[in-house]
Amino acid sequence: MKTLILSVAVASSLLLSGCVVSVGGGSDSHYGSDWEDREFNNRKHIANLEVGVGYETVLRKMGVADFNELFEKADGTYRVLYYRTQKTMGDGVTTKDECTPLVFRNGNLAGWGDSAYSLMH
C-alpha cells in the first residue's frame, strides 16, 4: 500500500511540474506596453479637461487615481488626484514625479499640472 501511494505521489509530481503560464501584466519592462497605454490614455483625457468641471465627472472619466490628497485651506477644501502620465524609471513602481496632479477646489477642477499644484501652496 505504501509503495502504491509513493508511486502515485512521484508520478503526479512529474506530471504536474514544469509548466507555468503567466497571464496579465507585471513589471513595466517585462510584460509589454500596458503602462504606455495607461499613460497615453491619461494624457489624452487630461488634455480634454475643462476648468470648473466637477470632481465626480473627472473621476468617472479618469478612473481611480494613483495618489490622492485632501486638505483644508482658508479659501476652501482642496483635493489633488495624481494620474501617471510619464515614466521616469523602469522599476514598476509609480511615483508622484511620474504623475500629473489634478487640483480641485471645493469640488471643482481648478487646474492641473505642477503649476496648478504649486499655486495652492
Express each pLDDT in 8-47 by its tens digit: 554 544 444 443 333 344 444 444 478 889 999 999 999 9
In a domain, 96, yes or no: yes
**Residue 107 zone, left/alpha/beta (φ > 0; ψ -120 to 50; rest):** left
Please indicate, yes or no, if residue 63 is contained in any of the structural domains.
yes
CATH number of the domain that 89 lies in? 3.30.1450.10
Q: How many domains does the chain have?
A: 1
Residue 42 lies in a domain: yes
Whole-Å CA distances, 97 to 33, 51, 82, 86, 94: 20, 23, 9, 8, 8
Range of the domain at 64: 34-120
pTM summary value:
0.70
Specify if 8 maps to a domain: no
Q: Is the residue at 108 inside a domain? A: yes
